[in-house]
Amino acid sequence: MVVDGAFFKQMLTWENLLGMFATAGLTGAVVATAIVWVSKNWISEKIKGRIKAEYDSQLEILKSKLKSESDVEVERLRSQLSIAAAERQFRFSKLHEKRADAIAEVYALLEPFVSALADYVKIIETSAGPTREDRNKKVTETGNAFLQYYSAKKIFIPVSVAKKIDEIQKMLREAHVQFAYLVDFPKSPDVLKWVEIFEKINGLSDKALFELEKDFRRLLGDEENLPG
């Protein structure tokens, strides 16, 4: 038989219990034992109820606290990610600006270098223009200006594009040296080498620089209307 403590609390008093036990003809020892048993069960149920209520209360407090801490942590992480994203965007924009500046300046310095060399090695010369010596100095000046800047800013140029520039500037320097020592300086110039260098420099302007310009435009974000 299960005794409900709440029922005894509401419906019975100690006098009722004693009356019931006396009416039943129970002895004092039996009555005392019954009262102790009922009391223990009632107290036990009472304690269990209080413990459960306190446990449920503490559990709700803990849940609320954990949720609050979790919300705070989520907001903190969201804020950190937002800040990190903003920092990366800022660094990227600055890097893009530096890359754009470097690309624009490299191209601006390369074009005069190529033009000066093309003018230096040209086959048809006129007495009205600069002397070949002056044109040679112009090649040296523009070449040095280009190489000095390009060496310092090469880190901002993508590897694939930098490789093309390296090949172009190597070819330009070799053509300059070959023309000076095989055509310009000797009393009897090597005409075949002259024609070969002239065609090489003009071919460079028609193809290699055109491809390089396309790469530069693409790097700067000009994807539309790129020349074919």
For residue 166, what pLDDT is reported? 92
Token pair for 154: 């090469």
d(CA 106, CA 156): 11
Residue among 171, 160, 228 nearest 202 (CA): 171
Average pLDDT on 45-64 reads 77
Band (188; pLDDT cuts 50, 70, 90): very high
Token pair for 25: 């003809």
- Asked if the model's pLDDT at residue 162 lies above 80, the reply is yes
DSSP states along 117-184: HHHHS-S---TTS--HHHHHHHHHHHHHHHHHHHHHHGGGS-HHHHHHHHHHHHHHHHHHHHHIIIII
Q: What is the sign, positive or negative, of the torsion defined by CA atoms of 44, 47, 49, 55?
A: negative
Band (116; pLDDT cuts 50, 70, 90): very high
By the 8 A CB rule, do 201 and 117 touch?
Answer: yes
Residue 21 CA to its chain's centroid (Å): 85
Q: Does domain 91-219 have CATH number 1.20.58?
A: yes
d(CA 102, CA 162): 12
d(CA 175, CA 136): 12
Residue among 47, 38, 51, 49 nearest 11 (CA): 38
Least confident of 75-79, 118-122, 213-217: 75-79
Q: What is the sign, positive or negative, of the torsion defined by CA atoms of 23, 24, 29, 34?
A: negative
For residue 11, what pLDDT is reported? 47
- Asked if the model's pLDDT at residue 83 lies above 80, the reply is no
d(CA 175, CA 122): 12
Band (186; pLDDT cuts 50, 70, 90): very high
For residue 219, what pLDDT is reported? 75
For residue 94, what pLDDT is reported? 77
Token pair for 9: 């609390």
d(CA 85, CA 91): 10
For residue 126, what pLDDT is reported? 82
Band (10; pLDDT cuts 50, 70, 90): very low
For residue 28, what pLDDT is reported? 59
d(CA 183, CA 166): 25
For residue 8, what pLDDT is reported? 47
pTM for the model stands at 0.58
- Asked if the model's pLDDT at residue 142 lies above 70, the reply is yes
Residue among 93, 75, 71 nearest 83 (CA): 75
- Asked if the model's pLDDT at residue 140 lies above 50, the reply is yes
Max mean pLDDT among 7-16, 176-185, 203-212 falls in 176-185
Average pLDDT on 49-64 reads 78
Kindly list the domain boundaries of the chain, sorted by start residue.
5-79, 91-219
For residue 223, what pLDDT is reported? 61
Band (103; pLDDT cuts 50, 70, 90): confident
Provide the percentage of residues in the chain whose pLDDT is more than 70: 69
